[in-house]
Amino acid sequence: MALPKIVGIETELGVMVRGTPDWNPVSASSLVINAYVGGETGGLDERSVPIAWDFIDETPGADARELVPPEFAMPPEIETHLVNAVLTNGARYYVDHAHPEISTPECRDARSIVVWDRAAELIAVASMERAIDALPPGQEIVLYKDNTDRKGNAYGTHENYLLDRSLPFGQIIAAGTAHFITRQIFTGSGKVGSELPGMGIGDVPFQLTQRAEHFEEEVGLETTLKRPIINTRDEPHADSQRYRRLHVIVGDANLAQVATFLKVGTSALVFAMAEDGVLEVPMFREPVPAMHQVSHDLSLAEPLALAGGTSITALEVQLDLLEQATAWADQADLDVVGGEEVTRDVLRRWEQVLTGLERDPDSVAGQVDWVAKKRILDGFRERHDCGWDDPRLRALDVQYHDLRPTKSLAARAGLEAIVDDAEAADAVRNPPEDTRAYFRGRCLQKFADNVVAANWDSIVFDTGDEPLRRVPMLEPVRGTLAHVGQLLDESTTAAELLDKLGA
Amino acid sequence: MAEREQKKKSTTRRDDESVEETPASTESGEKLKAELDDLLDEIDDVLETNAEDFVKSYIQKGGQ
């Protein structure tokens, strides 16, 4: 029986300072986040100011593979986090290496992810606007929701799925590899040219994804070099006896809400089916080349070689997964993937997008980023009679992802909205009500002065003269409005809340 | 495995049942084209002024 597919997305943003040739990405990232959360400039979200991230339980080097020879299990470089804040909506906003990064709060389903992912975009927009006041006249920090500088440097949009610890890791590899390679046809954000050595604009004028070419391994622990299709980081941020958190690093940053909705919604369905033991997936002969091949194939018709000697297209794999998911949904308890309504919407949109891609990709320009982007670029090429090597096309490619409303091409591309900005604006301040993010966010809203540190699975309180008190939150589906809403409403002090919780 | 691959090849069934379900039907094609023309007009105004320099300066190291 599948467990609830709690999900979250971590987005690393591209960052630039305009108006000066002399700038540093780490400082710029710190400045733009501080502009939002506080620090010297005073913040928009003042209640997030004093909260430190608590690293006590973080073990990014833990490997999901139980027996891995040491030479294959090199722990990744310890992440150097500078600014690091928890927001009142349960999200985390921080500097990771040389990029601003924002992690959504834990969500129960694909629709919630779209709400808090859009909220993250609004937070980035507010940060940029506020940062202007802290910069010399004429300078501006610009954030881009993309995944590569198109010069070989990539940065991630990572998804996280709560899985049953008892699901064998080999099955996760099989399910994930088949889905991640083939879902690219609707999750890709598009890119002009290629970043692979020896590949010119004539070989690959445009491709489906930003990220595919940055993957070199099938399975592994790395995230910054020799990136694997299946990442084995074993850090559940939850009860490790019961749960695994699958850290998915292959995805593109999406501006199209339907693409985000389907990226998460279909993946949650695939892993729920795997947990129920009903998922059947093909095995590719060479997964890494297949991943690149799908990204490079604008016809969506190229056969991918299977281990058994036959072949299949990405579209055929996705249509088959859709068929399996539809059959599963008719007999499963859909609460694990967010309930009947959202699941039917995932299945309906999945079918619409696949059949649209099959017949006429331009018909899904409102739903799929690479199609929306390519449509603009094709129109531009025709109007200005230029080839794919025109630098203006590369500029448009980057500018599609510019988060400034005045410059964003995605905002002008006619993308379909699943949630409106009023709902997303509410989610900038408030957490989801149906995961432990509710408890985290409400505690910050109400008792920020008493919270000394927080992370995904605990909050540390200082209530005055007693020792610091840590509230563990090892169950991601507890700490919801239904569980603790009344307790939080009735508590006038943090001490009272902790006493009522028995912490 | 062979049996499943056989099944995957036969996608004709789908073609029969979902002809009318694309998000953008043909009659909206003209509208879409007009919207694209408007967008391209706007792009000529919002496009980064020195595209070549902008693209060269877009460097993002140190990511995951």
Tens of pLDDT along A316-327? Answer: 999 999 999 999
pLDDT of A49 reads: 44
pLDDT of residue A84: 86
Are A3 and A164 in contact, with CB atoms under 8 Å apart? yes
Which positions in chain B touch A280 (Cβ < 8 Å)? Answer: 4
Query: Of A257, A355, A263, A323, whose CA–CA distance to B22 is shortest?
Result: A355
Mutation for testing the A interface, residue in B12, B25, B53, B60 having most A CBs under 10 Å: B60
- Give Cβ neighbours of residue A499 (< 8 Å, ≥ 6 apart): none
Nearest 5°: the CA angle A503, A89, A124 is 145
Closest in B2, B21, B60 to A355, CB measured: B21
CA angle A248, A146, A120 (to 5 degrees): 75
Contacts of B4 in chain A (CB under 8 A): 280, 282
Q: Kindly report which listed range (A61-70, A90-99, A134-143, A427-436) carries the lowest average pLDDT score.
A: A61-70
Of the candidate ranges A157-166, A339-348, B34-43, the one whose mean pLDDT is the lowest: B34-43
Query: Which amino acid is residue A345, in one-letter code?
Result: D
- Does residue A171 sit in helix, strand or coil? helix
Q: Work out the average pLDDT over A231-256.
A: 96
- Please say if the pLDDT value at position B55 is more than 60: yes
pLDDT at B20: 47
Chain B, nearest residue to A396 by Cα: B47
Average pLDDT over residues A34-47: 62
Identify the pLDDT of residue A57. 62
Taking CB atoms and an 8 Å limit, are B54 and A316 in contact across chains? Answer: no
pLDDT at A66 over 70: no
* Predicted pLDDT at A42: 46
Neighbours of B20 (CB within 10 A): 7
Is A143 within 8 Å of A32 (Cβ atoms)? yes
Q: Averaged over A239-264, what is the pLDDT?
A: 97
Cross-chain CB nearest to A412 (options B9, B21, B39): B39
- Chain B positions touching A102 (Cβ under 8 A) are none
DSSP category for residue A309 = S
Residue A349: name the closest of A403, A418, A402 by CA: A418
The CA distances from residue A422 to A47, A118, A418, A427, in Å, are 21, 11, 12, 9
Residue B44 pLDDT level (bands cut at 50, 70, 90): confident
pLDDT of the residue at A266: 98
pLDDT in tens, A440-499: 999 999 999 999 989 999 999 999 877 899 999 999 999 999 999 999 999 999 999 999
Helix (H, G, I), strand (E, B) or coil at A402: strand
Does A226 have pLDDT greater than 50?
yes
Exposed, middle or buried: residue A300 (CB in 10 Å: 0-12, 13-18, 19+)? middle
Residue from A137, A383, A130, A247 nearest B64 by CA:
A247
What pLDDT score does B25 carry?
Answer: 53
Q: Which chain A residues are closer than 8 Å to B28 by Cβ?
A: none
Provide the CB-side half-sphere exposure for A298 (13 A, CA): 15
What are the CA-CA distances from residue A154 to residues A4, A14, A223, A241 (Å)? 31, 9, 10, 34
A51 pLDDT tier (thresholds 50, 70, 90): low
Pairwise CB contact (< 8 Å): A312 & B5: yes
Q: Tokens 């009500």 — which residue?
A: A433
Chain A residues 337-356 with CB within 8 Å of chain B: 351-353, 355-356
Mean local confidence (pLDDT), A29-34: 94
pLDDT at B17: 45
Instruction: Report yes or no: A193 and A150 within 8 Å, Cβ to Cβ.
Output: yes
Write the burial class of residue A105 (CB in 10 Å: 0-12 exposed, 13-18 middle, 19+ buried): buried
Contact A150, A397 (CB under 8 A): yes
Q: What is residue A188's predicted lDDT score, i.e. its pLDDT?
A: 98
Amino acid at A383: R
User: Is residue A405's pLDDT more than 60?
Assistant: yes
Q: Does A52 score more than 70 pLDDT?
A: no
Other CB atoms within 10 A of residue B23 CB? 18
Q: Is A429 helix (H, G, I), strand (E, B) or coil?
A: helix
Q: Average pLDDT in the B35-59 region?
A: 90
Contact state of B55 with A395 under an 8 Å Cβ cutoff: yes
Catalytic residue among A96, A369, A402, A434: A96
- The two counts, helices (H) then strands (E), for chain A are 14, 18
* Residue A407 touches chain B, beta carbons under 8 Å: yes
Give the pLDDT of residue A297: 98
Q: In this structure, what are the phi and psi dihedrals at residue B45, rounded to the nearest 5 degrees?
A: -90, -40
Report yes or no: A265 and A197 within 8 Å, Cβ to Cβ.
no
CB–CB contact B61 A98 (8 Å): yes
pLDDT of residue A43: 52
Whole-number pLDDT of residue B5? 43
Q: Which of A293, A435, A426, A405 is nearest to A5 (CA)?
A: A435
Chain A residue numbers with beta carbons less than 8 Å from the beta carbon of B61 are 25, 98, 149, 153
Q: Cα A411–A417–A418 angle (5° rounding)?
A: 150
Q: Which of B1, B35, B60 sits opposite A14 (nearest CB)?
A: B60
pLDDT band, residue B45 (cuts 50/70/90): confident
Task: Find, among A419, A13, A56, A489, the residue nearest to A256 by Cα.
Answer: A419
Helix (H, G, I), strand (E, B) or coil at A78: coil
- The CA radius of gyration of chain B, in Å to the nearest whole number, is 22
Cβ A353 vs Cβ A186: under 8 Å: yes
Convert the pLDDT of each residue in B1-41 to its tens digit.
444 444 444 444 444 444 444 454 556 678 878 888 999 99
Mean pLDDT for A127-145 is 95
- pLDDT tens, A82-95? 788 899 999 999 99
Q: What is the pTM of this model?
A: 0.91
* B9: CB partners within 8 A, 6+ apart: A312, A316
Q: Is A96 a catalytic residue?
A: yes
What are φ and ψ of residue A192, in 5° steps?
Answer: -80, 130
Which one, of A296, A266, A310, lies nearest residue B8 by Cα?
Answer: A310
Please write the tens of the pLDDT for every residue from A88-129.
Answer: 999 999 999 899 999 999 999 999 999 999 999 999 999 999
Q: What is the pLDDT of residues A284-305, one digit of tens each?
A: 999 999 999 999 999 999 999 9
CA atoms within 13 A on the CB side of A237: 26
Q: What mean pLDDT comes out for the span A60-74?
A: 58
Q: How many CB atoms lie under 10 A from the CB of residue A2? A: 24
Instruction: Give the pLDDT score at A83.
Output: 82
Report the residue of chain A nearest B16, measured CA to CA.
A355
* Contact status of A280 with chain B (Cβ, < 8 Å): yes
Interchain pair A409, B43: CB under 8 A: yes
What distance in Å separates the CA atoms of residue A484 and residue A490, rounded to the nearest whole number?
10
Question: Chain A residue closest to B50 (CA)?
Answer: A392
Using alpha carbons only, give the angle A479, A60, A470 rounded to the nearest 5 degrees. Answer: 35
Q: Locate tokens 């891995």: which residue?
A: A68
Name which residue leads in pLDDT, B4 or A249.
A249
Burial A434-463 (b: 16+ CB within 10 A, else e): bbbbbbbbbbbbbbbebbbbbbbbbbbbeb
Q: Which residues of A touch B31 (CB under 8 A)?
A: none
